[in-house]
Structure formats: structure tokens, C-alpha cells
Amino acid sequence: MTEARDLLIRDATLPDGRTGQDLLILAGRIAAVGPALAAPPGVPTLDAQGWMVSAPFVDAHFHMDATLSYGLPRVNASGTLLEGIALWGELKPQLTQEALVERALQYCDWAVAKGLLAIRSHVDICDDRLLAVEALLEVRRRVAPWLDLQLVAFPQDGVLRSPSALANLKRALDLGVEVVGGIPHFERTAEHGAESVRLLCELAAERGLRVDMHCDESDDPLSRHIETLAFHTQRLGLQGRVTGSHLTSMHSMDNYYVSKLLPLIAEAGVHAVANPLINITLQGRHDTYPKRRGMTRVPELMAAGVNVAFGHDCVMDPWYSLGSGDMLEVAQMGLHVAQMTSQAQMRACFDAVTTNAAQVLGLDGHGLDVGCHGDVVLLQARSPVEAIRLRATRLAVVRRGQVIARCAPAQAVLDLPGRGPATIDWTLQR
């Protein structure tokens, strides 16, 4: 791990609106929060200058084995989910462990620079070589000092549909992958999908592991595996340890059925992860007009008491040609797609890429309370809403009390004829 350090952050604004706050980090943990804290001898100081200090960003859903592979072996011409899956199948035989590690490490550098210090990555286990699993286990080891990487054993081709997937999944867990994955809507029949949910939840319960399933990533309103996932979560006592990712079929479901479904998800303590950038890109591809938005019912899930997080999902891979590891971009897209424009809802979108996502991963010590890890991000913004609006510059990224990334403040100088020079401040101070 990164060597635990001491650090005093002066004059910070906190996400809850408190201003003029100091944060004292001792031995890598937050020891005190409040105004005008006494500075222990020899502790270095970071002047926040009134900017906002936040807990680090957390990505609750990503595919690091595919990241930065855009254009290999070709580009997804249709832009559809199914062509992306087929394209990944073409690429897998050409993968090497060295290239996988190199691309993943490059992405982790991007992530750290953006204040993203925890990622849950699904890793495909349907290649009998388990090449990607071994590569990402090595990446996890290397980045551990500055980034928490949690891995999901993901049967991309279906745990029942692919002959060796179940055996490979168990091998991946034996090697140290922490979470059981699944993709029930991609099995050959709805019955096989439901059977895969049962089988995989029982495997997780037997091993004491978490579950994260690509669940109902479809425009088909009859894809209802989230109901089965909620049932087995409750039956097996897995509350709080299970996540349904994507859940895009919910955007097409009948409202009456959803009125029954939402309480079931909440009662089972199942987390939900939406992936705004990718859901809005891949879904609704068979529609003419009107076109469906593609993202699950985020505000309704939140109102029902479900913990909802956002994930980046893809960056420059067979499914998505853009992205930079910026979770504020993810939050901004989620805000727009879900039409979450009240002040409370916009703050909830910020939580979806910080505190809510940390709950999905089960991270201990994430936050700004005394006793939490000394991991923070200094943002050139004065509120969570402003951070989303500006995709705020990460002025400093701190891990266990040590500054591990810095960025100069974003500013521009105008020199307009007849007006003279002026410095632009995109923030609105009231």
C-alpha cells in the first residue's frame, strides 16, 4: 500500500455545504474535521483555497480487460451491443497478457489523475486460458498502492451457454477474483437465464462472496431476471452483497409491473448500477422514433430506497469509442438522461459516483468522516452540482495522506478589443 502520511488540508468546502473546514490526516486516516484545526508540528499543509474536498470517485461497473482496445481488430460499425460482443469474441484469440496489462495500467493512470481511486471491473472468464483474469490479477497487485481494483468473474458468453464457463468461473474465484458475475439475459432461454441466477447466487453464498450480474441489459420488457435475482438474494441471505447492473429492460416495462418490482428489489437489499454513457449509446438501436432512452429508472429506484450507483462501463473498446475515466462525465450524463435536475437530484448523481458506488463495492473507510481513509479529491468547484456542471478540474488527489496527482487550475485569459485582459472564472460565487 501507499505509505501512510500526515497532511493538513486548510480552508476546504465540503460536499454538504460547510465552508472553511480543515481536514487533518494522520497516519493515513482522517483524524479531525473542523474549522481552524491546530497544526501538529511537522505536518505538511495543503491550502484548498475554499475549493471542495470530496471523497474519491468510485466506478461501480467497468470492463478493464477490454479498455483501450478500440479498433482491434475492427470498429463496431453498427454501434450495437450484440456487435460489440461479437467483436470482443473476434479479439479474444489475439489477446496477449502483456498487452492486457499495458492497456489496463495506462487506464489506471488516467483514473488516478481523475480522482478515481476504486474500480469494480468485470473480467471475461469464457476464454479457457483465463488470460484476462491472470492479467488483471497482476494489474490489481501493481496498482494496489494507489487504487482499489475489485474483480468480477464475468461469463460474457453465458455461464450455461458456454460449455466451460462454470468451471472457468470457479477457477477464476480460486485464483483470487472476489465477485461472482453473470449475464442471465444472454443465456439461450429465459428458463436458462433464471437457472443461471440461482446457480451463481448459490455459488456466491457457499463461498461468502458478492454477486454482480449484467442483468436485463436489453430493450425487451419481458427480460425480468432482476426479479429472480432479488428473490434468490433474499432466499440465501445475501442482502447488501448483490448488484444488478444495467437493468435497461426496466425502461420498457409496464408501469404496473415496475410498481411491484421496485419494492422487491428494495426489500432484498439489491444494489442497482446504471451505466449512463453506454446505456444511452447501445440501447434503443432497433427503434425508429420515438427512441427509448435506454437507461434504467434511476430516480424511481432511488425513491424506492434502492442504493443506485453509476458506472463508466467502457472506455475506448468494442462497445464505446469515447471516454477518459472521468466519473463526473458519467454523473453528468446520468443527470441528463434521467432528467434529475432538482438540486437534491443533482447531488444524488454526485453520490452515485462516490458514496453510493462505494457501498456497492463494500469499501471500508470511504468518506470524509473521522476514521475514514485519508483519501480525498480537491475539486475546482464549490459544490457537488458545480463539480458536475464544470466536470471540475482535480486540483489534487490524495491517497492515504499523500498527494499522488496534481493539476493546475482551469482558467482562461481574455484580451478582447476595447475591454482589456480579463481572467475567466467559470464558477458562480453567491
In a domain, 430, yes or no: no
Segment 320-347 mean pLDDT: 98
Locate 250 and state its grid cell.
426496466
Length of the chain: 430
Q: Answer yes or no: do 354 and 238 share one domain.
A: yes
pLDDT at 342: 98
Q: Answer yes or no: do 15 and 132 share one domain.
A: no
Q: Answer yes or no: do 119 and 263 share one domain.
A: yes
In a domain, 391, yes or no: yes
Domain containing residue 408: 7-55+367-413
211-238 tens-digit pLDDT: 999 999 999 999 999 999 999 999 999 9
In a domain, 21, yes or no: yes
407-423 tens-digit pLDDT: 999 999 998 998 888 88
Cis upstream peptide for 290 (omega within 30°): yes
List active site positions: 217
Identify the CATH number of the domain in which residue 49 sits. Answer: 2.30.40.10
Q: Answer yes or no: do 291 and 218 share one domain.
A: yes
CA–CA dist 152, 244 (Å, integer): 13
140-192 tens-digit pLDDT: 999 999 999 999 999 999 999 999 999 999 999 999 999 999 999 999 999 99
User: Is the distance from CB of 312 to CB of 323 less than 8 angstroms?
Assistant: yes
In a domain, 428, yes or no: no
Identify the CATH number of the domain in which residue 107 sits. Answer: 3.20.20.140
Q: Answer yes or no: do 162 and 188 share one domain.
A: yes
Nearest Cα neighbor of 372 from 31, 2, 4, 112 is 31
Q: Answer yes or no: do 276 and 329 share one domain.
A: yes
Q: Answer yes or no: do 226 and 255 share one domain.
A: yes
Q: Answer yes or no: do 34 and 158 share one domain.
A: no
Residue 377 has pLDDT above 90, yes or no: yes
User: Is the distance from CB of 374 to CB of 29 less than 8 angstroms?
Assistant: yes
CA–CA dist 414, 419 (Å, integer): 9
- Give strand pairing partners of 376: 398
Contacts of 386 (CB under 8 A, 6+ apart): 52, 392, 427, 428
5-15 tens-digit pLDDT: 999 999 999 99
285-325 tens-digit pLDDT: 999 999 999 999 999 999 999 999 999 999 999 999 999 99
In a domain, 48, yes or no: yes
How many domains in the chain?
A: 2
Residue 1 has pLDDT above 80, yes or no: no
**Last-in-domain residue among 343, 361, 379:** 361
In a domain, 118, yes or no: yes
Nearest Cα neighbor of 154 from 66, 74, 77 is 66
**Last-in-domain residue among 335, 361, 387:** 361
Pairing of strands 29-34, 52-54: unpaired
More confident residue, 380 or 429: 380
In a domain, 427, yes or no: no
Q: Answer yes or no: do 16 and 151 share one domain.
A: no
In a domain, 422, yes or no: no
110-151 tens-digit pLDDT: 999 999 999 999 999 999 999 999 999 999 999 999 999 999
Q: Answer yes or no: do 270 and 341 share one domain.
A: yes
Would the CA dihedral through 351, 331, 343, 430 be positive or negative? positive
User: Is the distance from CB of 194 to CB of 184 less than 8 angstroms?
Assistant: yes
Q: Answer yes or no: do 36 and 66 share one domain.
A: no
The pLDDT mean for the chain works out to: 96
Q: Answer yes or no: do 206 and 70 share one domain.
A: yes
CA–CA dist 31, 334 (Å, integer): 34
Residue 429 has pLDDT above 70, yes or no: no
